[in-house]
Amino acid sequence: MSGGGEHGTQTVPHEPVFVGEKRAELDRLFSLYPTKQACLLPALWMVQQTRGWISESAIAEVAEVLGLTPAYVKGVVTFYTMYHTHPVGRHFIQVCTTTPCNICGAEDVVKALLRETGCGELGATSPDGRFTVIEVECLGACGFTTPILVDDDFIESVTPEKVAGIVKRYP
């Protein structure tokens, strides 16, 4: 695997993800689907959970283990909003601002998050590398406005007042 061709800042050679335990986990996944291609979304999740984001070289590795082309895999990666194609902060915060949350004050929660995390703007990573905040469409918890996802923690009923306390929990 070559580590070249990164569009980001990563220049170190690519450490393969699918070795040892991860390889065994992937092999187990193969037995659950009639095609290897069907394991693409789960494999991409494995990469993101291991590396934090999905680099060009990781895309090449996934393509190789699944018998696909890197271009094809990239097309799939970029279709789905939850895959990161560039590095993000140590904690990734997703805030719902779709209509039901919007009418209950979600935009104020966004402002509080951008302020308390030091991110300043949506999509940017805070200078200390701790946080990235993005707005997302409906998180499916509209009765408990405003829901946010901090990494894999789904937090309901967030108000601007609660934001500082939540941010503190993620060093």
Q: Which is nearer to other proteins, 41 or 118 (CB)?
A: 41
> In which element (H, E) is residue 72 found?
helix 70-77
Tokens, residue 98: 């779709």
Candidates 11, 19, 20, 79; binder of other proteins (CB under 8 A) is 79
The dihedral region occupied by 157, where left means phi > 0, alpha psi between -120 and 50, and beta the remainder, is left
Candidates 82, 123, 159, 161; binder of other proteins (CB under 8 A) is 82
Candidates 2, 20, 34, 171; binder of other proteins (CB under 8 A) is 34
* Residues 92, 94: Cα–Cα separation, whole Å: 7
Candidates 98, 115, 122, 162; binder of other proteins (CB under 8 A) is 98
Side-chain half-sphere of 148: how many Cα atoms within 13 Å? 26
Angle between helices 40-51 and 20-30 (to 10 degrees): 160
Q: How far is the CB of 75 from other proteins (least distance, A)?
A: 6
Stretch of residues binding other proteins (CB under 8 A), selected from 6-14, 15-23, 102-110, 124-132: 102-110
Q: Say whether residue 81 binds other proteins (CB under 8 A).
A: yes
Antiparallel, parallel or unpaired: β 148-150 and 91-96: antiparallel
Q: Say whether residue 132 binds other proteins (CB under 8 A).
A: no
Q: Say whether residue 85 binds other proteins (CB under 8 A).
A: no
Stretch of residues binding other proteins (CB under 8 A), selected from 3-11, 12-20, 99-107, 163-171: 99-107
* Residues 73, 9: Cα–Cα separation, whole Å: 21
Q: Say whether residue 153 binds other proteins (CB under 8 A).
A: yes
Q: Say whether residue 83 binds other proteins (CB under 8 A).
A: yes
Angle of CA points 98, 89, 26, to nearest 5°: 90
Q: How far is the CB of 163 from other proteins (least distance, A)?
A: 19
